[in-house]
Structure 1
Amino acid sequence: MPTTDTPSAIRIWVAAYVAANRETAVRDAAEARAYPALLPTGLVEVSHARRRMLVERPVFPRYVFLGVPEGASWYPLRAVPGVLGILSSGQQPRAVPKRVVGLLEEAIAANAFTRTAEAAFAAGEAVKVRVGSAELDAFVERVRHTLPGQRIDVVFEAMGKRHRATVPLDHVRAAG
Structure 2
Amino acid sequence: MFNEQPPVWYAVYTRPKCEKKVTDLFTRKKVEHYCPVQPLVRARKIIQEPLFPSYVFVHIPESRSWVVKETDHVINFVYWLGQPAIIPDHEIGLIRQFLRDYEEVSMEKFPLSAEGDKVVATGARIVQISSNRVKVALSSLGCSLVATIPSREITVISGHKAVNGHHY
TM-score range, shorter chain: 0.5 to 0.7
Query: 1:80 & 1:24 partners in 2: Cα distance?
Result: 13
3-state SS of paired residue (2:58): strand
Structure whose alpha-carbon radius of gyration is higher? 1
3-state SS of paired residue (1:60): coil
Partner of 1:68: 60
1:128 matched to 2:131? The reply is: yes
Task: Give runs of aligned pairs for residues 1-176 of structure 1, distance below 5 A.
Answer: 11-46=7-42, 48=43, 52-69=44-61, 72-89=63-80, 91-108=82-99, 110=100, 112=102, 114-115=103-104, 128=131, 175=154, 176=161
Query: 1:31 & 1:10 partners in 2: Cα distance?
Result: 20
What RMSD, in angstroms, separates the aligned Cα atoms of the two structures?
3.1
- What amino acid is the match of 1:89? W
The alignment-based identity, stated in percent, is 20
Q: Given that residues 10 and 67 in structure 1 are in contact (C-alpha distance below 8 angstroms), is that contact kept between their aligned partners in structure 2?
A: no
Q: 1:111: how far off?
A: 5.8
Q: Which runs of 5+ in 2 are unaligned?
A: 106-129, 134-147, 155-160, 162-168
Q: 1:105: how far off?
A: 2.6
Q: Given that residues 128 and 172 in structure 1 are in contact (C-alpha distance below 8 angstroms), is that contact kept between their aligned partners in structure 2?
A: no
Q: TM-score, normalised by structure 1?
A: 0.53
Query: 2:132 & 2:19 partners in 1: Cα distance?
Result: 34
